[in-house]
Amino acid sequence: MIVVRTGLHIMVLAFGGLILTFVCLGVNGSESVRNVEWLPCQFVDEKVHINEEGHAETQYIHREAVIQFGNAGDSPLYPTITFLVTASKVDMRRYVEGGEDKIHCEIRRYSTGGIAMRWPTMGAQDYDFWFTCTLRHTEGSFVISTFLRHTPAVPVKGQKDYLQWTTINDRELLTTSAAMVVLTRTPSVEVGFLKEPTLHCQFAVDHKLANVTLEWRLQQHGERSKLFSYSSRTGKSEGSGVSVKAIAAGNASFKLRPTRKNSEGTYTCSVLVPPIYGSHDIPLILSEQPRVSLNVGSSLALTLGEEQKVVCDAEGYYPLDVNIEWYREPAGGSPTPVFLKNILHSNHRLHQDGTYSLSAFFLLQPGLEDSGYKYTCRVSHKSLLTPIRKSFILTVTEPDSTMWYVTVIAFIIAMLGILYWLLPKYFAERKAANKRF
């Protein structure tokens, strides 16, 4: 059991019934992490064997461990596997932001792929072991990968790579040195169209004039393409998006051009300093919220017998999936709104910028009993935390009887006027005809 508190930092570890309490005073979470003496960590150990088909199978074993910061010769603070990280020019803690209660720590063995070469720092040997320590912020603020180099007291005979890892006992202390850090503060990115986001990538090495090869690649639909590369050995670079001058200070961030539909994918920043290779995958997702509108105002008045086509438009959204529903309820609100079933949808319309539009409409033929109801269009999309709603209140009235009476009377008056004008002529013509005979 591991309990971590911030503020007055109370940390409790339980190992086999022994409970240990460690109190660390800090002004704030960030300062306490940068000065902390240790961090609880999970060591994901590996047991690899070759199966009957000749393929390597790996069994992962989760073990309790601690990252302890100090000097060579320090005693372990707790009775568990301890990775003692001694001082070097690389300190993973300086890149951490936030309290340790939001940090997930994981240690794994690292294989150099059969490359046996001495790391160019004092005390390094050809037979060094390597581990990776990953600090991951639980809310997605950063991911930090640190390469830890361990020099055994005596060379280990035989293969020390993944097919025959050296055994690590439950209370073993491994003295290590942080050789390289690779981190990103943009573990995943979600942006809209025509934006220019910067994908953060940073590294640090424990010695000067390191032989660094830096690359950015993009993976889309199973295919990988190179966006940028740089070699400190030759000083040459290919591609764009990264400031070559900034690389010398460890800044390998990549600035995208205005985002379009083909910008989506997984971007990988990789740093190679032989024999270790660090990388971070940064998925980039495009997202645009729909603009929702109705073809009627906030109120709609109809006369009994009239009909109205009501349209709800969702425009400019991405990705494709969107859901448009119509429902109605009394104007005062109702816990059980009634969803309309006679809704028709247009086809998705693709715009030049890569966004989509969709319409949902129905023919409103109301009766007097429908008057006073509120009709609502609800649009849901993955870019929205809550659906967008647009509503109108319907008023239905009977035809105006006064106008009917006015029309009838006007018609009668007109007819009387015509008769008043025609009758004298009629009688005059009759009188003239009688005289001729």
Q: Average pLDDT for consecutive 10-residue bins of the chain (437 residues)? A: 36 39 37 76 91 87 96 94 95 87 94 86 89 95 97 73 83 96 97 96 93 97 95 95 95 96 96 96 97 96 94 96 94 82 94 94 94 95 96 89 68 79 71 64
Among 32, 15, 14, which residue's Cα sits nearest to residue 24? 32
Asked if 375 contacts 387 with a C-beta cutoff of 8 angstroms, the reply is no
Distance CA 2, CA 13 (A): 5
pLDDT of 117: 85
DSSP letter assigned to residue 288: B
pLDDT of 435: 65
pLDDT of 402: 61
Distance CA 128, CA 408 (A): 107
Output Rg (C-alpha) for the chain, integer angstroms.
38
CATH 2.60.40.10 residue window(s) in the chain: 186-285, 291-397
Distance CA 437, CA 435 (A): 5
Distance CA 253, CA 263 (A): 16
Cα torsion angle, 73, 76, 81, 84, sign: negative
To which CATH superfamily is domain 291-397 assigned?
Immunoglobulins (2.60.40.10)
User: What is the pairing mode between strands 38-50 and 56-70?
Assistant: antiparallel
Longest dimension (CA), the chain: 153
Pick the CATH number of 186-285 from 3.30.300.160, 3.30.565.10, 2.60.40.10, 3.40.50.300: 2.60.40.10
Distance CA 361, CA 144 (A): 51
Distance CA 367, CA 364 (A): 10
CA dihedral 64, 69, 70, 74 (to 10 degrees): -10
120-123's contacts with Cβ under 8 Å and 24+ in sequence apart are 120/207, 120/210, 121/88, 121/177, 121/179, 121/206, 121/207, 123/151, 123/177
